[in-house]
């Protein structure tokens, strides 16, 4: 059955979820407070780089299954399910900042009526306990408005997302699982039924368990990466090859081959933020999350590993020119949040180098991130990978975009090349340049 869904927030999670629900046949209202963005979305213009999303969105628009608005009253009154997909950025102390979530609850509570029953679904990653707190909070707002039996007018549900950037549409349409947490099982079943057409494995839980599944999943994947990076660093000293070690481990199905690629660390909008938030939550309940703290500290160190490797061959970078290939936190996205390229470029600049950086899609975001380095004339963003390389003494590969796989070896001659993602074959590279990679002899 087609349902009426509002999605609050048209960022990457909200827009993908809203467009995909509409593609599945539901009637979706996407709400954002940014007028300009809403105007663009109405015309089918996708403001982020996400493969396949424009196609899904234009189909949903032409079928009349999705519309966009800035009007909370309209969105709340014309929907039965209200998904919250607003940002939960990290505060200075690592905790999640719930300002946007709280403000969404307030706006929704303003328009819930005496006869209504609304299902409010948290898609945003919120600290464990937020769902139950939200129930009290929204009920108190309704009570203030004089709404009768406020607890019966809505239910709060947790339905965390597991969408990878660059593969978000695919992950939505073919989920490994759909997790729905609610203290009222019938309502959880209603939310699960929104995904019926996809026939995913469904796990129905209580509220805090669903919230914890999201954090534990991301923390575990981040742990795998820090683990393999630490193994890589040991491999290097002992002459072992981490890529083969990872394969040998991963063929054991209890371990699996995924997320065992050693490199220069993880970035992005989720892993660093979620692990830090989980550490913060654990400390609030007087637990000492030692393992999780190490996941972060190993990662921070790993990001600078390519620079250390470069220094082995060029001990002083003063006045030297260094090319950087890849700035986004991973391929297939223009997202630079927590990208390893940020500390790498800054460290190079701090050591006196002049940096020439290239990325296939992230240059616009890079311009904002590196505004100081650009102003100081220490960094140049170029639109061709060889333009960055030509006049440089060294190259650091930070993001393994497909277009870097193919390389004109002659252009590498005489240079120091640090491959931060083990993209190239050492035996070939060593014929042309001084080659370093991560965890390989
Ligand atoms: C992640 C989760 O995968 C997704 O389920 C969650 O909802 C949001 O966070 P995303 O941040 O888009 O998705 O990126 P992902 O593909 O998981 O990669 C995260 C980071 O880990 C990247 O910087 C990537 O380069 C790094 N990584 C990943 C490794 O260094 N090694 C690996 O083996 C895998």
Helix/strand/coil for 203: strand
Q: Please compute the mean of the pLDDT values over residues 21-30 and round it to a whole number.
A: 98
* Ordered structural domains, the chain, with CATH: 4-204 (3.40.50.720), 215-301 (1.10.1040.10), 304-436 (3.40.50.720)
pLDDT of residue 49: 85
pLDDT over threshold 80, residue 417 = yes
What does the pLDDT look like over 118-150, one tens digit per residue? 999 999 999 999 999 999 999 999 999 999 999
Q: What is the mean pLDDT of residues 389-398?
A: 97
Both tokens assigned to 191: 């939310």
Residue 416 has a pLDDT of 98
Model confidence at 2: pLDDT above 90? no
> Has residue 103 got a pLDDT over 80?
yes
Arithmetic mean of pLDDT over the chain: 97
Residue 163 CA, closest ligand 1 atom number:
7
The answer for 414, left when phi > 0, alpha when psi is -120 to 50, beta otherwise, is: left
Question: Is 330 annotated as belonging to a binding site?
Answer: yes
Pick the residue whose CA is nearest to atom 27 on ligand 1: 266
Residue nearest to atom 14 of ligand 1 (CA): 164
Joined tokens for residue 76: 């709340």
Closest C-alpha residue for ligand 1 atom 25? 330
Cβ-proximal residues to 38 (8 Å cutoff; 6+ apart), any chain: 10, 30, 32, 68, 69, 70
Which ipTM did the prediction report?
0.97
- Residue positions annotated with a catalytic role: 270
pLDDT at residue 21, rounded to an integer: 98
Dihedral-angle region of residue 333 (phi above 0 means left; psi in -120 to 50 means alpha; beta otherwise): beta
- pLDDT tens track for 40-72: 999 999 998 889 999 999 999 999 999 999 999
Give per-residue pLDDT as tens, 174-209. Answer: 999 999 999 999 999 999 999 999 999 999 999 999
| pLDDT value at residue 30 | 98
Assess whether pLDDT exceeds 80 at residue 84.
yes
Q: Are the C-beta atoms of 401 and 391 separated by less than 8 Å? A: no
Global pTM value: 0.96
- Tell whether residue 165 is among the known ligand binding residues: yes
228/81 Cα distance (integer angstroms): 41
Can you tell me the mean pLDDT for 104-115? 97
What atom of ligand 1 comes closest to residue 338's alpha carbon?
Answer: 23
φ, ψ at 25 (rounded to 5°): 110, -5
- Percent of the chain scoring above 90 in pLDDT: 97
Please compute Rg for the chain using Cα positions.
24
Please choose from 268, 342, 397 the residue to mutate so as to test ligand 1's pocket, defined by most ligand atoms within 8 A of CB: 268
pLDDT at position 232: 98
Q: What is the pLDDT of residues 310-324, one digit of tens each?
A: 999 999 999 999 999
């Amino acid at each position: 059955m087609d349902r009426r869904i509002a999605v609050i927030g048209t960022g990457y999670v909200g827009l993908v979820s809203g467009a995909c629900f509409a593609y599945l046949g539901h009637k979706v209202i996407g709400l954002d407070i940014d007028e300009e963005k809403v105007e663009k979305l109405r015309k089918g213009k996708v403001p982020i780089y996400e493969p396949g999303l424009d196609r899904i969105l234009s189909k949903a628009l032409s079928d009349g299954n999705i519309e966009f608005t800035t009007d909370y009253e309209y969105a709340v009154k014309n929907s039965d399910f209200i998904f919250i997909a607003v940002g939960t950025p990290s505060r200075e102390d690592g905790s999640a900042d719930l300002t946007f979530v709280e403000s969404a609850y307030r706006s929704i509570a303003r328009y819930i009526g005496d006869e209504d029953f609304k299902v409010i679904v948290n898609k945003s990653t919120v600290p464990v306990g937020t769902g139950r707190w939200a129930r009290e909070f929204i009920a108190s707002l309704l009570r203030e408005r004089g709404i009768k039996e406020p607890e019966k007018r809505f239910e709060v549900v947790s339905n965390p997302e597991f969408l990878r950037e660059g593969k978000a549409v695919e992950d939505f349409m073919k989920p490994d699982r759909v997790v729905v947490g609610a203290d009222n099982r019938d309502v959880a079943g209603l939310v699960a039924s929104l995904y019926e057409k996809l026939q995913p494995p469904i796990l129905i839980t209580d509220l805090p368990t669903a919230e914890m599944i999201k954090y534990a999943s991301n923390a575990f994947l981040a742990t795998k990466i820090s683990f393999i990076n630490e193994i890589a660093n040991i491999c290097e000293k002992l002459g072992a090859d981490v890529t083969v070690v990872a394969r040998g481990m991963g063929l054991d199905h209890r371990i699996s081959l995924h997320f065992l690629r050693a490199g220069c660390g993880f970035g992005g909008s989720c892993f660093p933020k979620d692990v830090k938030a989980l550490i913060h939550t654990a400390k609030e309940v007087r637990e000492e999350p030692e393992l999780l703290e190490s996941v972060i500290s190993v990662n921070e160190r790993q990001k600078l590993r390519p620079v250390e490797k470069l220094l082995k061959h060029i001990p002083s970078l003063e006045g030297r020119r260094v090319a950087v290939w890849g700035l986004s936190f991973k391929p297939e996205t223009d997202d630079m949040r927590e990208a390893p390229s940020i500390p790498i470029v800054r460290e190079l600049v701090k050591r006196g180098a002049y940096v020439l950086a290239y990325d296939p899609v992230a240059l616009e975001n890079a311009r904002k991130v590196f505004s100081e380095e650009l102003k100081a004339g220490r960094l140049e963003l170029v639109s061709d990978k060889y333009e960055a390389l030509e006049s440089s003494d060294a190259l650091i590969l930070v993001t393994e975009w497909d277009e870097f796989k193919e390389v004109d070896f002659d252009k590498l001659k005489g240079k120091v090349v640090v491959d931060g993602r083990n993209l190239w074959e050492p035996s070939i590279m060593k014929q042309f340049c001084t080659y370093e990679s991560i965890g390989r002899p």
